Copies of this chain bind each other. A is one copy, B any other.
Amino acid sequence: MSATSFLRRLFGRGDGIDQRTSYLVSLCESLLGARGETSGAAIAREALAVYKSLDENAREQFFDVLTKDFSPAPEAVGQAADVYRYDPTPESLIRLQEAVEPLRQELFRRLNMAPGATAALVEMRRLVLKGMAKHPHWKVIDHDLMHLLRSWFNRGFLKLERIDWHTSAMVLEKLIEYEAVHAIQGWPDLRRRLDSDRRCFAFFHPQMPNEPLIFIEVALTRGMSASVQRLLDMSSSVESGTADSAIFYSITNCQEGLRGISFGNLLIKQVAEVLQRELPHLRTFATLSPIPGFRRWLQRTRGQLGAGADAKDHIALLDHIEKPDWHANDVPEPLVKLLQQLCAWYLVNARKGEEPLDAVARFHLSNGAALARLNWLGDTSQSGMDRAAGMMVNYVYRLAGVERNHERYFRHHTVVASRAVAKLARECPLASQPPASAEA
């Protein structure tokens, strides 16, 4: 009788647990018990197959068992820690580490022997994250998976690949599926985005060759783009002249199960290097980015515009943008000015703790980019209007300044802005706050 058929009899604990869950748990125990690795790979394969076949209920039971039965024993941990506390030798440290590491981690490592297991564990973490609100104790599973995935998806293992019309349909359809910032409207749209005046790059992991982890879309343009609709226009003519700017207009994380493992920063920098090498005449590397939190913040902040005559005028102006299609008609010049000042102020000064309030700003500024330019009506889509009154912003990555900006950001949370943006912020009615440092 083989290990597997023997174990098949073990399931059915009679405690209300699904038979398949029970069988899976017994496989996991068996996998952990396997000495030598002969049977290991076969058990891992079987365990993975069973896991994939679980329905939601059975899967929740399995996660519960993982939480409860595969954590370290408190008493044993305490004793090992006491030994180390009073006698911190190499041996006592190693014994402590072994006592503290949950069996879950070893289980996941052994499961990873099965073909396709890496992708399955990424997917498992996605489900754990999704269920954590309801099952807060799953946090330990998340923690262990995160620990392993962070190690396996270490930057050193990632491959940067260019995506273009030579790429397989299998990968291309994933772009269509995953792109969230500016949804891809089918294959003709995708084809335009991969034309000769565009670039697209993604990171892949050797174990998941058809699954992009993150991808970025770039437009090669003359001058810094100010409108995303113009970039997305499928019928726009292909730029044939010599571009001087690379505009990063969309960056998409594809794997929810890798949340918290950051690839974007590295991607932007590697792509900038690759482009600079391929196209030495490129002068500007910048984003065309949304400002997702502006109107929400504005809603909360209106009240602080004060009580003077000016303030009343301002508030009256701002009422304007509550009307549908307000931007389709003539927009009063003072409103344009006011919104730009407020938006600049928001980006430069609004904080959450010490960091910028706007999530996209936080990402690019912490990477070492600088606020370069506000773009009036840069995104007139519904969501662009709803979230930022149509404004967009360019963050510029200057190769020479990135490292210094990054350090200043991390030491002092300095927001580096162009003169123009800094000026707008200073002229904002809210400007009693300290100004952002201007860029040298």
What residues make up the interface of A, taking CB atoms closer than 8 Å to B?
A: 2-3, 35-39, 41-42, 67, 71-72, 74-75, 77-78, 80-82, 84-86, 88, 90-91, 93-94, 96-97, 100-102, 109, 112-115, 117-118, 136-140, 143, 147-148, 150-152, 154-157, 165-170, 172-173, 186-187, 191, 206-207, 210, 262, 265-266, 269, 366-368, 402-404, 406-407, 409-410
Pick from B81, B91, B114: contact of A82, CB under 8 Å = B81
* Complex CA–CA separation, A84 to B99 (angstroms): 12
Q: A36-B367, A72-B93, A74-B88 are in contact. Are A266 and B156 (CB under 8 A)?
A: no
Known: A36-B406, A112-B154, A403-B42. A84 touches B88 (CB 8 A): no
Which residues of the partner chain B approach A88 to less than 8 Å between Cβ atoms? 71, 74
Bound complex: CA A35 to CA B93 (Å):
28
Given known A-B contacts A82-B81, A109-B151, A169-B191, A410 and B91 have beta carbons under 8 A apart: no
The CA-CA distance from A137 to B94 in the complex, in Å, is: 11
Q: Which residue of chain B is the closest to A146 with respect to CB atoms?
A: B94
14 A–B contacts, CB within 8 A, in A order: A36-B265, A38-B367, A41-B266, A74-B86, A77-B81, A90-B139, A94-B139, A94-B143, A97-B100, A113-B155, A157-B206, A157-B207, A169-B187, A186-B187
- A185 to chain B minimum Cβ distance, whole angstroms, is 12
Q: In the complex, A407→B1 CA distance in Å?
A: 10
Q: Give bound CA distance, A78 to B137, whole Å.
A: 23
